[in-house]
Amino acid sequence: MKSSLIFMMIPLLAFGKFGIDFGPDSANDFSVSDLQCLRSTGIQFAIIRGWHSYGAFDQRLLTTFPNGLKAGFPSIGVYLFPCWGMDAVQQVQQMMGNLTQYRRNIDRVWLDIEMNPNQGCGWDTHSFEDNCQYISEMVDAVKALNYEVGIYASHRGWGIILGNDAACQNFADIPLWYPHFDYKPTFDDFVSFGGWKKPTIKQYIDLTRNSKCGIPVDQDWIPDDDDLKFQ
Ligand SMILES: *[C@@H]1O[C@H](CO)[C@@H](O)[C@H](O)[C@H]1NC(C)=O
């Protein structure tokens, strides 16, 4: 029984790279030992929140980011959850302005394009065209600072924020990170939207139903043939 279980696990572990993403809070500070524990379970990459959805730099990143490096993550991604009430370019500049000391360890800056319930921060009070333009400004701002950029978005969210699946195809040349909590580390479920023919990362397990090392974390997966660094 035991050996057949191990046998079944091997293909999953051997194929692709497994990662986590999280926004640290007072209950979970992601200490060096927490992150070392996560690495010992086979987690190879991490993406950490750098900007709160209410429009401010996430100060905890200044502890969590160096903790991740100490725990042995070679490079780390950061994500920005924008608040539409603020200028697109300024949010990128302020987040990255707070992170200049980690410039060479930042793998990529991910723009988190999803519904934002914070007062004055939502996409729903703006036109689909303006939302597309807003994302373009953020993408350009990340590139202007010489960081790699990517977009986190779901098929459903894209329709709500940009109008429909085929809308706003400006970003098909940058990596897509998409959520689908089906517990399957494969892209077989992917449905094309926003001009993306293929995704780069899948967030396949949701933190509300997942705990590793006693910590709730979202889990992510990249196939072996990915073009991301994380190494
Ligand atoms: C850090 O972020 C805050 C916003 O939370 C901003 O006011 C500040 O200017 C940023 N710092 C730098 C050095 O860019």
Block mean pLDDT (10 aa), the chain, length 231? 50 75 86 96 96 97 97 95 98 98 96 97 98 98 98 98 97 97 96 97 91 92 72 45
Where are the domains positioned within the chain? 2-223
How many whole angstroms separate alpha carbon 69 and alpha carbon 143? 24
Strand 106-112 with 149-152, pairing: parallel
> Does residue 221's CB lie within 6 angstroms of at least one atom of ligand 1?
no
Strand 45-52 with 17-22, pairing: parallel
- Collect all residues with Cβ–Cβ distance below 8 Å to 170 and sequence separation of at least 6: 132, 135, 136, 139, 195
The token pair at 140 is 């350009």
Q: Any idea which residues carry the catalytic annotation?
A: 21, 112, 114
How many whole angstroms separate alpha carbon 127 and alpha carbon 137? 15
Residue 157 CA from chain centroid, whole number: 15
Residue nearest to atom 7 of ligand 1 (CA): 94
| pLDDT confidence of residue 55 | 97
| pLDDT confidence of residue 10 | 47
20 C-alpha to ligand 1 centroid (Å): 26
Residue nearest to atom 9 of ligand 1 (CA): 94
| pLDDT confidence of residue 95 | 98
> Does residue 94's CB lie within 6 angstroms of at least one atom of ligand 1?
yes
CATH architecture of 2-223: Alpha-Beta Barrel (3.20)
For residue 55, give the ligand 1 atom closest to its CA.
5
> Does residue 57's CB lie within 6 angstroms of at least one atom of ligand 1?
yes
| pLDDT confidence of residue 227 | 55
For residue 57, give the ligand 1 atom closest to its CA.
5
Residue of 184, 207, 98 whose CA lies nearest to 145: 98
User: Phi-psi region for residue 30, left (φ > 0), alpha (ψ -120 to 50) or beta?
Assistant: left
DSSP class of 88: H
| pLDDT confidence of residue 231 | 45
